[in-house]
Amino acid sequence: FLPKKKKQRDCLINLKIQKENPKVVNEIDIEDLRSTNVCYCRCWRSKTFPVCDKSHIKHNELTGDNVGPLILKKKIL
Protein backbone atom coordinates (compact mmCIF):
# COMPACT_ATOMS: atom_id res chain seq x y z
CA PHE A 1 0.00 0.00 0.00
CA LEU A 2 1.39 3.39 -1.06
CA PRO A 3 0.37 6.68 0.51
CA LYS A 4 -1.98 8.66 -1.78
CA LYS A 5 0.60 11.41 -2.47
CA LYS A 6 3.23 8.89 -3.60
CA LYS A 7 0.79 7.23 -6.00
CA GLN A 8 -0.14 10.60 -7.56
CA ARG A 9 3.54 11.53 -7.99
CA ASP A 10 4.15 8.32 -9.91
CA CYS A 11 1.43 9.40 -12.33
CA LEU A 12 2.96 12.75 -13.31
CA ILE A 13 2.57 13.56 -16.99
CA ASN A 14 4.73 16.67 -16.96
CA LEU A 15 8.21 15.69 -15.75
CA LYS A 16 10.16 18.93 -16.36
CA ILE A 17 8.38 21.64 -18.37
CA GLN A 18 7.89 24.97 -16.52
CA LYS A 19 7.74 23.25 -13.14
CA GLU A 20 8.07 26.67 -11.47
CA ASN A 21 4.52 27.49 -12.64
CA PRO A 22 1.44 26.13 -10.85
CA LYS A 23 -0.16 25.41 -14.24
CA VAL A 24 1.30 25.29 -17.76
CA VAL A 25 -0.94 27.09 -20.22
CA ASN A 26 -0.06 27.87 -23.81
CA GLU A 27 -2.06 30.30 -25.88
CA ILE A 28 -1.70 30.34 -29.64
CA ASP A 29 -3.29 32.97 -31.84
CA ILE A 30 -4.43 31.12 -34.94
CA GLU A 31 -3.94 34.26 -36.98
CA ASP A 32 -0.22 34.18 -36.20
CA LEU A 33 0.38 30.69 -37.61
CA ARG A 34 2.98 31.11 -40.33
CA SER A 35 3.14 27.69 -41.94
CA THR A 36 0.22 25.60 -43.15
CA ASN A 37 0.90 22.77 -40.67
CA VAL A 38 2.02 23.22 -37.06
CA CYS A 39 2.40 20.31 -34.60
CA TYR A 40 1.90 20.85 -30.89
CA CYS A 41 3.20 18.43 -28.29
CA ARG A 42 0.78 16.34 -26.26
CA CYS A 43 3.32 13.93 -24.75
CA TRP A 44 5.09 16.56 -22.61
CA ARG A 45 8.52 15.29 -23.66
CA SER A 46 9.35 17.83 -26.39
CA LYS A 47 12.49 19.90 -25.92
CA THR A 48 10.74 22.64 -27.91
CA PHE A 49 7.46 22.49 -25.96
CA PRO A 50 4.75 23.44 -26.83
CA VAL A 51 5.91 22.58 -30.36
CA CYS A 52 6.39 18.86 -31.10
CA ASP A 53 10.01 17.78 -31.77
CA LYS A 54 9.07 14.12 -32.36
CA SER A 55 10.14 13.07 -28.84
CA HIS A 56 6.82 11.20 -28.67
CA ILE A 57 8.32 8.52 -30.95
CA LYS A 58 10.97 7.57 -28.36
CA HIS A 59 8.47 7.91 -25.52
CA ASN A 60 6.08 5.52 -27.26
CA GLU A 61 8.89 3.03 -27.96
CA LEU A 62 10.07 3.08 -24.34
CA THR A 63 6.67 2.95 -22.69
CA GLY A 64 4.31 1.30 -25.15
CA ASP A 65 2.23 4.47 -25.08
CA ASN A 66 0.52 5.78 -28.21
CA VAL A 67 0.61 9.57 -27.86
CA GLY A 68 1.18 12.00 -30.71
CA PRO A 69 0.94 15.69 -31.54
CA LEU A 70 -2.00 17.97 -32.14
CA ILE A 71 -1.65 19.08 -35.75
CA LEU A 72 -3.15 22.41 -36.72
CA LYS A 73 -3.71 22.82 -40.43
CA LYS A 74 -4.23 26.16 -42.04
CA LYS A 75 -6.18 26.29 -45.26
CA ILE A 76 -4.68 28.40 -48.00
CA LEU A 77 -7.51 30.37 -49.52
Q: What Cα–Cα distance (Å) separates residue 74 from each residue in 25, 26, 37, 77? A: 22, 19, 6, 9
Known catalytic residues? 23
Query: Under rule CB under 6 A, how many of the chain's residues touch ligand FES?
Result: 13
Based on CB atoms, which residue is closest to ligand FES, 54 or 72?
A: 54
Using CB under 6 A as the binding rule, the residues of this chain from 13 to 72 that contact ligand FES are 41-43, 45-46, 52-56, 67-69
Q: What Cα–Cα distance (Å) separates residue 48 from each residue in 35, 41, 53, 62? A: 17, 9, 6, 20
Note the residues at the interface with ligand FES (CB under 6 A). 41-43, 45-46, 52-56, 67-69
